Structure formats: structure tokens, C-alpha cells
Amino acid sequence: MNDSFEQEWQRVVERFAEQFGGEIDYEAILFLIGVQELGQGRRKFTKDQKLDVMHIAICRLLSTYGFYELEGLDQDGWPHWKSTGKLPQLKPGQQHRLIKEAIIDYAKETEII
């Protein structure tokens, strides 16, 4: 990883930690982005719903690269995404890097950083 990328990632992590208190990791950031994108405010989620919230975040983040498209909301207000079929085959490390880059872009877009 280059220094610029790592510095930007650290800025994102620090900003989320300031906003939400305590240490925060990659998965917690995904969860918080998913909650934001769900738009239903702070509430309790079941274990399965937490995974769905993280899926919302990943789809939203990768939609900016054209890998997912929003289909719409279901009757409960949960967004549903469809794959565009353009997502390349990536190794796990590459996937992690792509998501981190998308989180950095999201943080800039939403003025988190």
C-alpha cells in the first residue's frame, strides 16, 4: 500500500472514531455506512439484519464504480441492489483494498473527511 492511501485510510478511521467514540475497525465502518444508507436511524438489529446492513454498505460503495445498481426499496424501506456483472475477479486482498478505496471516496463525498 502506498503512503498516500494509508494516510487517507487512517484519516477515515480516525474521523469515524471521533464521531462514534472509541476504536473502530473496517467492519464497524461498513456497518455505520450501511445504517446511514438504510436511513432508518439508530435501532437494534438482529444478527442477520446486521449482515444485511453491511451488504447495503458494500453495494452502495461499489455502485460508485458501476458494479451495483439500486433496484429500489422493499415495503420495509430496505434498499435492494443488483449486480451489473462488471465486478472483476479479485483476490481477497484486492477486494479489501477496493472496499477501503470506496470507503475513502464515500467519506469524501459525504464530507466525513
Q: Could you give the CA distance from residue 81 to residue 23 in angstroms, rounded to a whole number? A: 30
Q: Which domain holds residue 97?
A: 3-109
- The tally of domains found in the chain comes to 1
End-to-end CA distance of the chain: 20
pLDDT given at position 44: 93
Q: Which strand (E) or helix (H) includes residue 68?
A: strand 68-73
**pTM of the shown model:** 0.90
Residue-averaged pLDDT of the chain:
92
Q: Please determine, for residue 2, whether its predicted confidence score (pLDDT) is greater than 80.
A: no
Report, as an integer, the average pLDDT of 54-74.
96
Q: What is the mean pLDDT of residues 6-15?
A: 94
Indicate if the pLDDT at residue 1 is higher than 60: no
Burial of 95 (0-12, 13-18, 19+ CB in 10 A): middle
